[in-house]
């Protein structure tokens, strides 16, 4: 199957317009695409419009591509109508494997030949999701991080029936569309970023359950600690510096034995009612009366400042 050049795409279909799908719609609008959206859920169109309206001032501050406009968003009443004229399809329906198989098969039947389809799944393998498709070679995972309109990373990987050309095409398209694309070499449950943050999350739950740390202590320890370094270097290069002049070699030789210490517990703790209550009340205390919408605005304002700062430093790190 031949694919048109990624640079030629002008219309993107977004199927599923919840937090992730709506965030994708906002991103593609910011980058100057026409976006055709579909979601069968109640009040889906109103929720999508509200999400885009809420994000738009932030996106204006970050910078709009030529021709970017909220007026280029169109909500349709059917999946067929949404994907039939698209040059790329981003699926972001709920995380249910059987439902994913069905909706991707429906997209496959309706989307024009040669159009790549990406799923925003946060954990399913494309090999499993593409099982009902007649042309599975054009299906890839395009896993974003929330909110997709601000967090640049998207992890791209195909399934067993996906062609290498489709993976390469999606990788190029996302880069053209303003994302930082991480093209994975093979399928991995949970992908890369989710695997790392899940390990951190499990350890955090253990510490709360054992009474070793509070929710606000956990968040402060990352926000004012390693999280600041990770924003630029990630964990590996950060530890490379921890080795001093000897770099990672010295770090591993000197601190390697500590890896055998029982510091971390990667098996998730039981989610007891008590642990659940502690996590909920801890987050409520940190929020200090601020609504989810207020917290999202504060997060987005911060992320724009951080992205603009990273942009100033990106070239020297080979990420421009």
In angstroms, what CA-CA distances link 281 with 200, 278, 284? Answer: 20, 5, 5
- pLDDT at position 311, please? 83
- pLDDT at position 231, please? 86
Q: Pull the structure tokens for residue 261.
A: 């210490």
Any idea which of 17-31, 158-172, 238-252, 288-302 has the lowest mean pLDDT?
238-252
**DSSP β-bridge partners for residue 142:** 156
Residue 295 C-beta-side C-alpha neighbours within 13 Å: 10
Mean pLDDT (the chain, rounded): 92
Distance from C-alpha of 148 to C-alpha of 33, rounded to nearest angstrom: 15
- Written as one string, the DSSP assignment of 120-150 is --SS--HHHHGGG-SSGGGEEEEEE-SSTTT
- pLDDT at position 222, please? 94
Residue 262 pLDDT greater than 60, yes or no: yes
Q: pTM of the full predicted structure?
A: 0.90
- pLDDT at position 319, please? 54
pLDDT in tens, 6-27: 999 999 999 999 999 999 999 9
pLDDT category of residue 243 using cuts at 50, 70 and 90: confident
Residue 320 pLDDT greater than 60, yes or no: no
- pLDDT at position 101, please? 98
Distance from C-alpha of 121 to C-alpha of 296, rounded to nearest angstrom: 22
Distance from C-alpha of 219 to C-alpha of 60, rounded to nearest angstrom: 29
- pLDDT at position 207, please? 95
pLDDT category of residue 318 using cuts at 50, 70 and 90: low
Indicate the SS3 state at residue 4: coil
Distance from C-alpha of 194 to C-alpha of 124, rounded to nearest angstrom: 12
193-289: what CATH class? Answer: mainly alpha
pLDDT-above-90 percentage for the chain: 73
List the chain domain ranges.
Answer: 6-183, 193-289
- Written as one string, the DSSP assignment of 15-37 is E--SHHHHHHHHHHHHTT-EEEE
pLDDT, average across residues 202-229: 94
Q: By the 8 A CB rule, do 178 and 31 touch? A: yes
pLDDT, average across residues 77-83: 97
- pLDDT at position 18, please? 96
pLDDT, average across residues 36-55: 97
- pLDDT at position 251, please? 80
Q: By the 8 A CB rule, do 144 and 194 touch? A: no
Distance from C-alpha of 20 to C-alpha of 95, rounded to nearest angstrom: 11
Q: Do the first three CATH levels of 6-183 and 193-289 match, i.e. the same topology?
A: no
pLDDT, average across residues 135-159: 97
Residue 214 pLDDT greater than 80, yes or no: yes
Q: By the 8 A CB rule, do 129 and 101 touch? A: yes
Into which CATH architecture does domain 6-183 fall?
A: 3-Layer(aba) Sandwich (3.40)
């Amino acid at each position: 199957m031949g694919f048109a050049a990624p640079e030629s795409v002008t219309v993107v279909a977004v199927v599923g317009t919840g937090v992730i799908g709506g965030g994708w719609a906002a991103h593609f609008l910011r980058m100057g695409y026409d976006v055709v959206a579909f979601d069968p859920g109640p009040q889906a169109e109103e929720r999508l419009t509200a999400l885009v309206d809420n994000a738009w001032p932030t996106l204006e501050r970050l910078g709009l591509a030529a021709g970017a406009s909220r007026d280029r968003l169109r909500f349709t009443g059917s999946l067929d109508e949404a994907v039939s004229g698209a040059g790329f399809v981003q699926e972001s329906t709920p995380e249910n494997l059987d439902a994913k198989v069905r909706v991707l098969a429906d997209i496959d039947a309706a989307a024009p030949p040669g159009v790549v389809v990406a799923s925003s799944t946060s954990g399913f393998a494309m090999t499993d999701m593409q099982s009902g498709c007649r042309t599975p070679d054009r299906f890839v995972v395009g896993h974003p991080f929330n909110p997709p309109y601000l967090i640049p990373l998207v992890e791209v990987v195909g399934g067993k029936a996906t062609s290498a050309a489709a993976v390469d095409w999606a990788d190029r398209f996302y880069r053209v569309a303003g994302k930082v694309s991480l093209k994975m070499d093979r399928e991995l449950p949970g992908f890369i970023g989710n695997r790392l943050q899940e390990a951190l999350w499990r350890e955090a739950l253990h510490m709360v359950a054992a009474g070793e740390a509070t929710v606000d202590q956990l968040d402060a320890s990352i926000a004012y600690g390693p999280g600041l370094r990770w924003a630029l270097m990630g964990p590996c290069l950060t530890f490379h510096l921890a080795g001093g002049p000897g770099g990672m070699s010295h770090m591993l030789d000197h601190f390697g034995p500590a890896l055998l210490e029982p510091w971390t517990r990667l098996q998730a703790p039981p989610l007891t009612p008590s642990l659940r209550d502690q996590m909920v009340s801890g987050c409520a205390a940190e929020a200090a009366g601020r609504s989810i919408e207020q917290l999202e605005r504060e997060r987005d304002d911060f992320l724009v400042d951080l992205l603009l700062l990273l942009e100033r430093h990106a070239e020297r790190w080979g990420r421009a």
